[in-house]
Amino acid sequence: MDGAREGSAEAGSARALFTYVVRREGRTIATIEAHESAGGVVVESEVFPISRPHDEPGVKRPFTFSSADQARRFADDALVAFEYLNCTIT
């Protein structure tokens, strides 16, 4: 499930840890990605509510953690919840 992607949350100063795409019935409903920098780890989520049109932007929210382990546990919990809702994680 770990799909690390090249990129940066802070203009080249962060290292990508993981990226997940959450789909339900073929439609992307969320993305979760983490970036590590000297200041800690930021998990960025973007949720695309099903009640909104496909072309509307998602709701973005960052979550900051002091370690990669804390960020990983947070993401794992979110992914399990999506799996219970019959979502596919890639």
Q: Which residues of the chain have pLDDT under 70?
A: 1-12
Domain borders along the chain are 15-89
> What's the confidence (pLDDT) of residue 12?
58
CB-CB neighbours of 74 under 10 Å? 17
Listed in order, strand segments (DSSP E) in 1-90 are: 15-24, 27-37, 40-47, 59-65, 88-89
> What's the confidence (pLDDT) of residue 73?
98
Query: For the whole model, what pTM was predicted?
Result: 0.80
For 9-48, b/e burial (b = at least 16 CB within 10 A) is beeeebebbbbbbbeeeeebbbbbbbbbeeeebbbebbbb
> What's the confidence (pLDDT) of residue 24?
94
Residue 88's DSSP bridge partners are 23
- Determine the Cα–Cα distance for residues 28 and 46; give it in Å rounded to an integer: 10
